[in-house]
Amino acid sequence: MDILNVIIIILVIIGIILLIREIVCWYWKINKHIEIMKEINSNLGELLKVNKQQLELEKQKNKKEGNILDLKV
C-alpha cells in the first residue's frame, strides 16, 4: 500500500465517524439540549443582574433610612 491509499482510508474513516456522530446527536437531540441550556444560562445571567441591582437599591435605601441591617451583594 502506498501512502496515498492510507491517507484516503484515514479520511474515509474520519468522514464515517463524523457522519455517525451527527446521526447520534440528532437521535438523542443533543444539539437541541445544548441550545436550550445556553438559553437557560442567558436567562439566569439576566436574573442575576436584576437581583444584584435590587439588592444594591435595598442597601442604599437602608442606608438612607438609617437601618443597621446591611445586605450583602
Per the CB < 8 A criterion, the answer to whether 55 and 73 are in contact is yes
Domain membership of residue 70 (yes or no) is no
State the alpha helices, DSSP H only, in the chain. Answer: 3-27, 30-65
Judge whether 30 lies within some domain.
yes
Predicted pLDDT of residue 42: 98
**What distances in angstroms separate CA 30 from CA 14, 23, 26, 39, 69, one per listed residue?**
21, 10, 7, 14, 47
Domain count, the chain: 1
pTM score: 0.62
Per-residue pLDDT of 18-50, as tens digits, reads: 999 999 999 999 999 999 999 999 999 999 999
Provide the residue range defining the domain that includes 56: 3-65
Q: Would you say residue 73 has pLDDT above 90?
A: no
Cα angle 7, 11, 16; round to 5: 150
